[in-house]
Amino acid sequence: MISFSVDFWYAGIGAALIALSLLAFLLSKRLLKKLLAFNIMGSGVFLMMVGMAQTQNDGAADAVPQALVLTGIVVAVSATALALVVIRRFALASVVAALAAENKAAENDAAENDAAEKNGAERTGSDTAVSDTTVTDTALTDPNLNKNGDPQ
């Protein structure tokens, strides 16, 4: 029977994590799921680096891969924080853009109804338009955005 060392198991589990998280990354449509899959993929890389590190003559592990893994963990945490901020900004911008488009459509609908009313025709569409305060109030929920919803 073949005997596998602990280092081999670390490398094998790391390779499995990389493969599964790559699949999840490619198949996911949501940005947060992609970010989680990417972080798990990084953890798999760290496991592979630890598993494939060479031991020295006295049985102690090589210090270079350990230092690289520790540095990689710090970089991964800061990159995750940056990605979360970018995802949050993207989601907020999408909501503001959707509200602005909805407001514009409601204004166009109101203008068409007013024109039809002047011509004596029957009213169509919604009877009320979305006010300008809807977009402004939503944009002001983020302290980093100004009154128009633009970054300061």
Count how many Cα atoms sit within 13 Å of the Cα of residue 99 in the half-sphere of its side chain: 18
pLDDT tens digits along 25-76: 999 999 999 999 999 999 999 999 888 887 666 777 788 888 999 999 999 9
Q: pLDDT grade, residue 2 (50/70/90)?
A: low
Which pTM value belongs to this model?
0.62
For 13, residues 6+ apart whose C-beta sits below 8 A from its C-beta are 44, 47, 51
